[in-house]
């Protein structure tokens, strides 16, 4: 597990962000640490909610190295909210939605993307957390373990990587002023030889959007 820290301009609660906004926030402010974990360089192109590459769906986070477009990395995401109340109880929602995410990831692997990660965005409002250090103001180990080991993983294709990104609002300040992000790569993906026709579609998409 890696933890990072950032101080940036004021905005509202992190729980108010939608899934795509959470993904962008993580990449923009904790991208260096994320890329280091994933073993990729900073010359890559990042596309969010990429449409038109596959039929009847978009791709949550598509990472393309322009020099090696046949080695794309795909992060299919689902957001889970964790709210810590004043009594220190933790409310977790939408864990069952991860079954849908497993289906999406398995589909993307069948389509032949080079690397595919099941990516869980565990978004935590920890302003009420009581801890000796604000960097511990995030979901408890018990809560995180319940998500890490949830039965939804049982039907996940063995080729899929498993990634947990855990942005937390640490204090009474809005998350954009003071936030942390845990990064946990539970399993590395198995690489595949990406089909040439898929690579050509990705190149065309990249040329149109860069």
What residue segments make up the domains of the chain, in order of their start? 2-209
Confidence of residue 180 (pLDDT cuts 50, 70, 90): confident
Residue 99: is its pLDDT beyond 80?
yes
CA nearest to 61, candidates 23, 7, 28, 87: 23
Average predicted confidence (pLDDT) for the chain:
87
Looking at residue 16, what DSSP letter applies?
G
- Tens digits of per-residue pLDDT, 132-155? 656 556 678 888 898 898 888 899
Most confidently modeled of 6-15, 108-117, 122-131? 108-117
**Percent over 70 (pLDDT), the chain:** 84
Over residues 185-199, the mean pLDDT reads: 97
More confident residue, 194 or 182: 194
Check residue 51 and give its pLDDT: 95
Distance CA 23, CA 185 (A): 16
Over residues 50-79, the mean pLDDT reads: 95
Distance CA 65, CA 127 (A): 38
Instruction: Let me know: does 164 contact 122? Beta carbons within 8 Å.
Output: yes
Confidence of residue 41 (pLDDT cuts 50, 70, 90): confident
Q: Which range is least confidently modeled, 1-15, 101-115, 162-176? A: 1-15
Check residue 95 and give its pLDDT: 82
More confident residue, 11 or 114: 114
CA nearest to 82, candidates 73, 92, 95, 72: 92
Confidence of residue 8 (pLDDT cuts 50, 70, 90): very low
Check residue 96 and give its pLDDT: 81
Over residues 171-176, the mean pLDDT reads: 67
């Amino acid at each position: 597990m890696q933890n990072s820290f950032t101080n940036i301009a004021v905005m509202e609660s992190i729980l108010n962000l939608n899934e795509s906004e959470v993904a962008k926030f993580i990449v923009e402010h904790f991208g260096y640490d994320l890329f280091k974990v994933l073993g990729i360089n900073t010359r890559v192109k990042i596309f969010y909610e990429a449409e038109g590459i596959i039929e009847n769906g978009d791709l949550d986070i598509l990472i393309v190295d322009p020099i090696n477009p046949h080695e794309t990395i795909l992060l299919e995401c689902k957001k889970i909210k964790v709210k810590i109340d004043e009594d220190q109880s933790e409310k977790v929602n939408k864990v069952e939605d991860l079954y849908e995410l497993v289906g999406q990831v398995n589909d993307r692997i069948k389509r032949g993307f080079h690397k595919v990660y099941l990516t869980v965005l565990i978004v935590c409002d920890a302003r009420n957390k009581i801890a000796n250090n604000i960097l511990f103001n995030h979901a408890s180990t018990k809560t995180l373990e319940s998500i890490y080991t949830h039965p939804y993983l049982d039907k996940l294709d063995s080729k899929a990587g498993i990634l947990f990104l855990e942005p937390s609002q640490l204090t009474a300040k809005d998350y954009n002023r003071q936030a942390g992000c845990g990064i946990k790569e539970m399993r590395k993906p198995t690489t595949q030889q990406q089909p040439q026709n898929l690579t050509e579609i990705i190149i065309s998409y990249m040329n149109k959007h860069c």
